[in-house]
């Protein structure tokens, strides 16, 4: 398992048992790595802004902070190129997370796979993990007047518009074939 997959698995493991804790020893056994590797990974995730807390004591361990949702991103400086890129991704993730939580319209700057950049208002629906460790924002795009799937590492900027999104839609209402959209990577943006 490469580091990106391991970090994602670590977050998913802690998210699944939240608000309970899991010890570094238990996590290392589940992930097939050393306790020290788990501790380094936890530290890297915390530095990237993932709300993981450590609890001391016999029943202690690591847990996801129950105060809010987690931006589901691979926040790894080596893969983003620079610390500035990491900071920008974390800032975008926080804005998107707030929009999802508060049902607010987002204005995003999005670069599609051909490099074309557009600014658009979207009504966020859900984050979904896809192939290759990428995460996607599924949203109603007001520019295209349709559901679009935005790859998070291509969202250059995100800001709340102050406008409330329309009534919450179920995932099936966005598009019944979302898993296919993500797997093909063809309906992005």
Domain boundaries, the chain: 3-64, 77-184
pLDDT band at 167 (very low <50, low <70, confident <90, very high): low
Strand ranges in the chain using DSSP code E only, listed in sequence order: 52-55, 61-64, 104-111, 117-129, 135-141, 146-151, 155-164
**CATH number listed for the domain at residues 3-64:** 1.10.10.10
Neighbouring CB atoms inside 10 A of 132's CB total 11
C-beta separation of 135 from 129 below 8 A: yes
Predicted confidence (pLDDT) at residue 114 exceeds the cutoff of 60: yes
Judged against a pLDDT cut of 70, whether residue 73 lies above it is answered with no
CATH 2.30.30.520 fits 77-184, yes or no: yes
**pLDDT for position 45:** 77
Q: What is the pLDDT of residue 189?
A: 42
Tokens (6 digits) for 46: 């915390």
Q: CA geometry: angle at 75 spanning 71 and 79, to 5°?
A: 150
């Amino acid at each position: 398992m490469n580091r990106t997959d391991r970090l994602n698995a670590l977050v998913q493991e802690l998210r699944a048992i939240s608000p309970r804790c899991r010890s570094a020893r238990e996590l290392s056994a589940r992930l097939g790595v050393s306790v020290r590797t788990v501790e380094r990974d936890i530290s890297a995730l915390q530095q990237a802004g993932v709300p993981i807390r450590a609890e001391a004591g016999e029943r202690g361990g690591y847990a996801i902070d129950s105060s809010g949702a987690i931006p589901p991103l691979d926040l790894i400086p080596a893969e983003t190129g620079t610390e500035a890129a990491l900071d920008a991704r974390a800032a975008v993730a926080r804005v998107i997370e707030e929009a999802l939580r508060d049902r607010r319209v987002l204005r995003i700057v999005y670069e599609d796979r051909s490099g074309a950049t557009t600014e658009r208002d979207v009504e966020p629906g859900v984050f979904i993990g896809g192939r290759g460790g990428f995460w996607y924002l599924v949203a109603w795009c007001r520019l295209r007047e349709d559901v679009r799937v935005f790859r998070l590492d291509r969202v250059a900027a995100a800001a709340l518009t102050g406008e409330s999104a329309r009534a919450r839609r179920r995932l099936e209402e966005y598009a019944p074939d979302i898993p296919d959209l993500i797997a093909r990577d063809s309906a992005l943006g």
